[in-house]
């Protein structure tokens, strides 16, 4: 079991690092203006990572693609925050968040990871979409693409992981999701080889559900009203990431690089007091999308 865990950790790390290079190249080409900045960092307790950030592009206001591999022992503060008694851990993963300038183009997030704690090892990850000016056909296409990837490995995955995503990306104090979901899974420890094959497929095709939406919407006109709504909804994104996101909590608890952990936050966001969209407006329609729905029905 120990040898299998170590081999899986090495294979997962190689997968994530290779995909980071490929994804960054594809995103830079898609933006057509800005390039990624790469920052390598080391963690004093063991390990480190590579952060890739594209800023102020034509398409992306900020795009981040991070890899990290860290190990060591949880200190008392981390143990109290994360729970359990086992201190030894190993974690390797890739995470990305894409924040476009245009409110007509959704934000996309994805991350995939392999963790061990003591003698236990498991995979987690997923991808979700946060549209602002919502288009039903885009949301359906995103979910349909992820269902196709899931179905290649297990016909039960999509329904299970879609429902899990809806639950996970809910903002309890707002009573709504941060977006329209996608797939999410965690603590998958049975048949690790099967799950690794699935995670590999997800990583290698992580942009395929998103890029057709970008191509359809990137040149659509918008005005100040749509931009204000985008910034207001980004505020919800910030609230979720800082209060509820497990990846953010894990990274901070294990003393990872703060700039890399918080790259998921948009460069601009707003909190408008008691905001109410105009009835019948696209913004009012968007608010109906941020609840669990069967998008493929």
Query: What is the end-to-end Cα distance of the chain in Å, rounded?
Result: 42
Question: Which residue in 44, 1, 13 sits closest to 199, CA to CA?
Answer: 13
Task: Report how far residue 180's alpha carbon sits from residue 84's, in angstroms, rounded to the nearest whole number.
Answer: 32
DSSP helix/strand/coil, 114: strand
Token code pair at residue 269: 């966001």
Task: Report how far residue 283's alpha carbon sits from residue 132's, in angstroms, rounded to the nearest whole number.
Answer: 8
Q: What are phi and psi of 130, to 5 degrees?
A: -125, 90
Task: Report how far residue 180's alpha carbon sits from residue 291's, in angstroms, rounded to the nearest whole number.
Answer: 7
The helix or strand, by DSSP H or E, that contains position 251, with its residue range, turns out to be: helix 246-253
Task: Report how far residue 43's alpha carbon sits from residue 118's, in angstroms, rounded to the nearest whole number.
Answer: 20
Question: Which residue in 292, 265, 268 sits closest to 95, CA to CA?
Answer: 265
Task: Report how far residue 146's alpha carbon sits from residue 207's, in angstroms, rounded to the nearest whole number.
Answer: 10
Task: Report how far residue 27's alpha carbon sits from residue 98's, in angstroms, rounded to the nearest whole number.
Answer: 9
Measured in whole angstroms, the distance separating CA 192 from the mean position of its chain's CA atoms is 22
Q: Which residues are catalytic?
A: 109
Question: Which residue in 158, 161, 191, 156 sits closest to 8, CA to CA?
Answer: 191
* Other CB atoms within 10 Å distance of the CB of residue 13: 20
């Amino acid at each position: 079991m120990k040898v299998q865990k170590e081999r899986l950790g090495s294979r997962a790390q190689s997968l994530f690092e290779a995909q980071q290079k490929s994804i960054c190249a594809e995103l830079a080409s898609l933006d057509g203006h800005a390039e990624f900045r790469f920052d390598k960092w080391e963690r004093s307790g063991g390990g480190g990572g590579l952060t890739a950030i594209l800023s102020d592009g034509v398409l992306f206001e900020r795009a981040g693609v991070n890899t990290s591999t860290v190990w060591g022992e949880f200190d008392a503060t981390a143990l109290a925050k994360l729970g359990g008694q086992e201190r030894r851990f190993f974690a390797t993963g890739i995470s990305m968040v894409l924040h476009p300038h245009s409110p007509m183009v959704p934000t996309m997030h994805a991350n995939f990871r392999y963790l061990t704690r003591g003698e236990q090892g498991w995979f987690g990850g997923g991808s979700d979409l946060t549209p602002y000016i919502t288009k039903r056909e885009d949301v359906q296409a995103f979910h349909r693409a992820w269902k196709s990837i899931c179905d290649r490995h297990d016909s039960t995955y999509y329904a299970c992981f879609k429902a899990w995503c809806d639950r996970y990306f809910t903002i309890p104090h707002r009573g709504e999701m941060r977006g329209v979901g996608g797939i999410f899974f965690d603590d998958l420890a049975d048949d690790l080889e099967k799950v690794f094959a699935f995670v590999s497929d997800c990583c290698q095709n992580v942009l395929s559900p998103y890029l057709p939406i970008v191509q359809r919407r990137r040149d659509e006109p918008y005005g100040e009203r749509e931009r204000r709504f985008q910034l207001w909804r980004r505020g919800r994104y910030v609230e979720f990431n800082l209060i509820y996101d497990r990846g953010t909590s894990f990274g901070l608890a294990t003393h990872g690089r703060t700039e890399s952990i918080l790259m998921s936050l948009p460069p601009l966001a707003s909190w408008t007091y008691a905001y109410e969209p105009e009835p019948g407006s696209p913004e009012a329609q968007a608010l109906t999308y941020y609840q669990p729905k069967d998008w493929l029905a």
